[in-house]
Chains A and B, each alone.
Chain A
Amino acid sequence: MLSPVIVLPAMLNGLMAGAVYALVALGLTLIYGVLHIINFAHGALLTAAMFAAFFAFTLLGIDPYLAAVFLTPLFFGLGYALQRFVIGPVAHGDDRNFLLVTLGLAVAIENALLYFFRADTRTINLSYAFDVIAIGPAFIAVPRIVAFGAVIAVAMALWMMMRWTDTGKAIRAVAKEKLGAELCGINVAHIYAVTFGLGTACVAVAACLLIPTYYVNPTAGEAFVLIAFTIVVLGGMGSIAGALIGGLVVGVVESFSSIFLGESLGQIGIFIMFIAVLLARPSGLFGVRP
């Protein structure tokens, strides 16, 4: 059963799928690391971005990869506005309120999409969607390789931004010591909103990378949320490197558990890993104890 002909493709496909998971998780972990809140609306925003990419292609004929160029800033703005004008003021800084507000937003966004676009599952047809590249015994779809490369690039860009730009430094300062940062003249509400915007922008990129090979319906993003939570917990809340590595690990685990347990039970492996990690080591592999 464990011949390399099965293992290698499963491994590579898992890594490719894991890269997109990692990107979704990256947004989540960024928001968690700075605002210390769990953003339940993340999956709904991903679905919204997937719909945006879908209609950009079907109505305007814009290639999803090209659409990322304008969808990313658009969703950055959306995320910024959501945090600055809705989530922040409504939650009064209470942890549990953040949970409820983002849950409320998730329900509202998802069902607004359901109301407007109905429950139909939609896909797009791209000329290159089924192109494959052979790596040893494995055949990997080209869009998945593009996605893998793009995710690595985005993660690097984010890491460099956090490291070297003034905004990145301000974000790190707020994450470490909110009051201290505020006393140094950093506008915390603004930085919070920027972080939320960055997290939402990650989701927009992920949506554009997903749509060539995936489908979209009003609950499409939901499938990714719990996976993303798992990754964030696995990699350590707030850790960029953790999200990247955690994403790849989860992709591989899912790939292998669908081989051994069957397609419908494939996700069970992820959930069980999620619960096990949370119970055994809530700080994750790279994080610090909450």
Chain B
Amino acid sequence: MKTYWSIIFVVALLATVPFVTTSNVLLNFLVATLLIALVGQGWNLLGGYGGQYSFGQAAFFGTAAYATAVLQMQYGINAWLGLFAGMFAGALVGAVIGVLCFRSGLRGSYFSLVTLAFAEVLRVISTVAPITGGGVGTLIKLDLRPEAFQFQSRAPFYWIVLTLVALSLVVVRATENTRFGAYLVAVRENEDAASALGINAFAVKLAAMTISAAITAAAGCFYAQYFLFVDAAIAYGPWISIDALLAPIVGGAGTLFGSLLGAFVIKILGEATKFAAGDAPGLDLVIYGLLLVAVVGLAPRGIAGVAAKIIQQYFREGAPAGRDYA
């Protein structure tokens, strides 16, 4: 039984930031980082723990962002209800794609490709469908009241996204502690063996995909409320799918804090690149791409894996180095 103390500690620490600084630049940066951590945590549950590498988390992110924006603007639904509706819509998309993929036994690269294709289909449809505002996108009306999920200052937004991240951490830790989590890891390690032992691999993968989609969808809803604008390139753009897998892989896929750690690393790297090279487009992404290659090659378990190895060697001098996860 793994405890929840580490989550409480990390979240409490992060929650104090707005008391220490009122800098909007810093808070903006942290909100963006936590948003990526949340998107990535969704990927992490399915990809890191379940071994199903989705290349289309944007499908869930975008659906949720559009759902919350369109429900508010066209149907006058409260933004907070929109958050839940968006998460539900994202989870539904995840479940549908999951049923289709896992029913026909798609694994490995095939699964990745199909998720990518679904995100692309949704992107193309959303550029022409009238309900999404087509190519123009959907603006959410400015209404700075807490009831409308809009705030004067950045701090409440920050605490809300932090709460969502905290909930996602709890969900993942709870998964680790239940049978479901053990099944999921078994499926990742060897699906045929897991099935032979009586695990319903289809149900396990489908459940993981639905929860994963819901987590990523929460980030999509938050994005819409924070920036008050959604269009096809933002909602279903490939950038979100790439960030979603980059953060947990850099931090350590299949570890509780992997996504959060990775999000901080890639965001700081991105900002540092912008600082060093000016606002030239693309350079930060070049670094991301090379970072992904480097992490896969040098530290397949991400930063968390490297840290675990170092700690292990430090405390157990002379003991054989950690298991080789490559």
Contacts and interface: CB of A to CB of B under 8 A. Distances in A.
Contacts of B53: 96, 99-100
Contacts of A113: 282
Interface string B113-131: 1101110110011011000
Contacts of A96: 51, 53, 108-109
B128 A278 contact: no
Interface in B254-295: 280-286, 288-293
Contacts of A278: 104, 106, 110, 113-114, 117
Interface string B151-185: 00000000000000000000000000000000000
Interface in A254-290: 262, 264-265, 267-268, 271-272, 274-275, 278-280, 282, 290
Contacts of B113: 38, 229, 233, 278
Given A268-B125, A282-B106, A104 B282 contact: no
A113 B245 CA distance: 23
Given A114-B282, A264-B124, A97 B292 contact: no
A208 B148 CA distance: 54
Q: What secondary structure prevails in chain A residues at the interface with B? A: helix
Contacts of A111: 281-286, 289
Give the bracket for the number of chain A residues in contact with chain B.
35 or more
A229 B118 CA distance: 13
Contacts of B245: 100
Q: What secondary structure prevails in chain B residues at the interface with A? A: helix
Contacts of B51: 96
A37 B53 CA distance: 14
A108 B100 contact: no
Contacts of B249: 100
Contacts of B286: 107-108, 111-112, 115
Contacts of A272: 121
A128 B240 CA distance: 42
Interface stretch (A12-20, A84-92, A180-188): A84-92
A226 interface: yes
A226 B242 contact: no
B289 A118 contact: no
Closest 7 CB pairs of A and B: A108-B289, A104-B292, A90-B297, A107-B289, A114-B282, A111-B282, A111-B285
A224 to B, nearest CB: 13
A105 interface: yes
A79 interface: no
A97 B300 CA distance: 9
A275 B121 contact: yes
Contact of B297 (A89, A233, A268): A89
A94 B189 CA distance: 13
A103 B118 CA distance: 18
A104 B296 contact: yes
Given A38-B113, A96-B108, A271-B117, A103 B125 contact: no
Contacts of B326: 92, 94
Contact of B296 (A97, A262, A268, A280): A97
A218 B285 CA distance: 13
